[in-house]
Chain A
Amino acid sequence: MPFRTTLSLSLVLLAGLAVSAGWGCNTKPAGSVELLHVSYDVTRELCHEVNNRFIKQYETKTGKPLAIKQSHGGSSSQARSVIDGLKADVVSLALWLDVNAISKSGLIEPGWEQRLPNESIPYHSTVVFVVRKGNPKQIKDWPDLVKEGVEVITPNPKTSGNGKLSFLAAWGSVTTRGGSEDEAKVYLSALYQHVPVLESGGRGATTTFLNKQIGDVQLAWENEGYLAVKESEGEVEIVYPPVSIRAEPVVAVVTAVAKRKGTTAVADDYLKFYFEPEIQKLIAESYFRPSDAAVLEEFKDKFPPVQLFRVTDITTSWDEAQSKFFSEGAIFDTLSRQAAK
């Protein structure tokens, strides 16, 4: 009876799958508090460690169980999810712009930067060059990127925080060193002609550079650069340009959601926890530059001094940066249209 056999066989298969998949999926204990932390791509390991420590501290202090769920993805797409109704209690995103977009939609109270220490910036980072071992193309400064025969890997500024920062870093490398905006446009136009592929996210760019061996230099966050060095077992190395951008990821409590879930106090404590010296050290060990001056001093061997400029040094504000560079029909669009012709 093949039909019956098929039916029972598939039922057994389905049941087996269900049991094996469901095994160990613990249900949450009653009366527990649950936080949802929506973050960007590369912070999973760090968040995991911080969460474990915070949960331990919280549970010994209050005696109540706490669970922290994580969501990771591209910074802008995560912000969009929160705006569209993803019930995040706290967000930590790569760009001020993304948190501000959530704030504009009414979910985060205005003036959120002042809610936490250091303008809500627990750490900063910068854009560095990752080059092949021995730096065969002798890439040391921004103008070297547009030399004959150099291929640059950087993600799409339209969809990636990393891509936006790289673009701004390249722009600032001209304008903060006495160049005019027209010169900056010429430089960036040349730069994007040296880019063979615009991955949609930072990780795609790293894979392209490391595993697929495409390109001579990758523009990456400092911490991603260190991860790449570790992952490739020394096949690539980091070059610090003389000037670069100061990347400042921000954290914020999504006040409207937290209020409704009654988690505002826990969410506040959780984010303040990121500024504690203990966590600041953990942050430094993850190759982010901690905001705590004492901790930064302690790890100064890891973080060579680079002249860092803020976004506000090259434009008036993040909002202006967005509309001037990345909006539809703005400078990046013009440049890539030229590059395609």
Chain B
Amino acid sequence: MTEPAARGFSRSREPAWVKWLLIGAVYLIVTVLIVVPVVQVFCIAFSAGIEMFIQKALVDHDSRHAMWMTFWVTLISVTINIFFGVALAWAVARFKFPGRTLLISMVDLPFAISPVAVGLMFMLLFGRQGFFGGWLDEWGIEIVFSTPGLILATTFVTLPFIARELIPVMEAIGPDEELAAITLGASGWQMFWMITIPNIRWALLYGIILCTARAMGEFGAVSVLSGKIAGLTETMPLRIDKLFNEHDEQGAFAIAAILTLFSLITLAAKALMEHWVLASIKKPDADEL
């Protein structure tokens, strides 16, 4: 975020027509690629009236269950990711150990691997014919086609999000304050709660927001693993796909509209946070926890 005041006098050196052409281009790009599709989602969702929308999205039992499912899967995988992100960032940003770079690179893997391949991997491990399939079956543990499978897949695809936000921030802040705390006799946990967490809170929150958005929308990996049992293992993106396949376009777009709304809320939360961060940088005292 750059404040206009911080820019200096000579920032816009291009002729005015170039400037306005470029600004026009930005408006065009954002309108065509982002605004119109979002508007269309809501247009179709509400094209049959608001009662229909409420009926399809909020009253229908299976749709409501899909929301419930998405909520739980997101909550649990984001929680796992918070612990993982903080732990990894602490290890990587505060210590040097062999294999450190390799570990950082490995955490980026889920960014690049196709979600379909992710689903396939877990199927190969935990499916009935998979490597652990027979053993799990003996003990009556269900992973694939059940909530744990959905959580595993979602956690996998969102693994880098929080860690990636935290590592650069922790590296930038440096260990001085924490070293001081330890030298002054604070216990490890005291230092962690009173120095580390307050220092990284914005990055952590930002990571959580990104992670939540991605977790809510995961489709490719969970579609291989879910079994699509209505009212049991269906998440919202899967339900969109299924309603669409069952000649219920209204229903599909109603749920799509809710997911779109969530992602817009996510963006708003992010923008609001950036605003607050700026404010807190200006007045550091006003922001004590």
Chain A-chain B contacts (Cβ-Cβ < 8 Å), number: 111
Does B207 belong to the interface (CB within 8 Å)?
no
Chain A residues closer than 8 Å to B137, beta-carbon distance? 85
Does B254 belong to the interface (CB within 8 Å)?
no
* Chain A 1-28 interface mask (CB, 8 Å, partner B; 1/0): 1111010001000100110111111000
- The answer, among B144, B229, B244, B289, for a CB contact under 8 Å with A85, is B144
A25-B289 in contact (CB<8A): no
Does B227 belong to the interface (CB within 8 Å)?
yes
Does B71 belong to the interface (CB within 8 Å)?
yes
Minimal beta-carbon separation of A28 from chain B (angstroms): 11
B127-A207 in contact (CB<8A): no
Chain B residues closer than 8 Å to A201, beta-carbon distance? 245
Known interface pairs A14-B75, A70-B229, A71-B228; A203-B127 also in contact (CB < 8 Å): no
Does A72 belong to the interface (CB within 8 Å)?
yes
- The answer, among B75, B129, B273, B280, for a CB contact under 8 Å with A83, is B129
B123-A17 in contact (CB<8A): no
B287-A22 in contact (CB<8A): no
Central interface residue in B58, B130, B229, by most chain A CB within 10 Å: B229
CB-CB contacts below 8 Å: B222-279 with A: 227-232, 242, 244-247, 249, 269, 272-273, 276, 279
Q: How many chain B residues have a CB neighbour from A under 8 Å?
A: 43
CB-CB contacts below 8 Å: A80-118 with B: 81, 83-87, 105
Chain A residues closer than 8 Å to B75, beta-carbon distance? 14
Chain B residues closer than 8 Å to A74, beta-carbon distance? 245
Minimal beta-carbon separation of A46 from chain B (angstroms): 11
Chain A residues closer than 8 Å to B227, beta-carbon distance? 38, 71, 81, 86
Does A42 belong to the interface (CB within 8 Å)?
yes
B246-A6 in contact (CB<8A): no
Does B205 belong to the interface (CB within 8 Å)?
yes
Q: How far is the CA of A10 from the CA of B268 in the complex (A)?
A: 12
Minimal beta-carbon separation of B105 from chain A (angstroms): 31
Minimal beta-carbon separation of B263 from chain A (angstroms): 14
Chain A residues closer than 8 Å to B133, beta-carbon distance? 85
Q: How far is the CA of A85 from the CA of B130 in the complex (A)?
A: 10
Does A333 belong to the interface (CB within 8 Å)?
no
A69-B289 in contact (CB<8A): no
Chain B residues closer than 8 Å to A312, beta-carbon distance? none
Q: How far is the CA of A3 from the CA of B206 in the complex (A)?
A: 12
Minimal beta-carbon separation of B287 from chain A (angstroms): 7
Does A62 belong to the interface (CB within 8 Å)?
no
Minimal beta-carbon separation of B45 from chain A (angstroms): 15
Q: Which 8 A-B residue pairings sit nearest by Cβ, starting from the closest? A: A85-B128, A84-B127, A2-B276, A21-B68, A203-B245, A21-B67, A86-B227, A86-B145
**6 additional A-B residue pairs with CB within 8 Å, beyond A3-B201, A21-B67:** A3-B287, A10-B269, A20-B58, A84-B129, A86-B144, A203-B247
Seen from chain B, the residues whose Cβ lies within 8 Å of a Cβ on chain A are 58, 61, 64-65, 67-68, 71, 75, 123, 126-130, 133, 137, 142, 144-145, 201-202, 205, 227-232, 242, 244-247, 249, 269, 272-273, 276, 279-280, 287-289
22 A–B contacts, CB within 8 A, in A order: A2-B276, A3-B201, A6-B272, A20-B58, A21-B64, A21-B71, A23-B64, A25-B65, A41-B246, A70-B229, A71-B228, A72-B228, A81-B228, A83-B128, A84-B145, A85-B128, A87-B142, A202-B245, A203-B244, A203-B246, A207-B249, A231-B247
Seen from chain A, the residues whose Cβ lies within 8 Å of a Cβ on chain B are 1-4, 6, 10, 14, 17-18, 20-25, 36, 38, 41-42, 44, 69-74, 81, 83-87, 105, 201-204, 206-207, 211, 227, 231
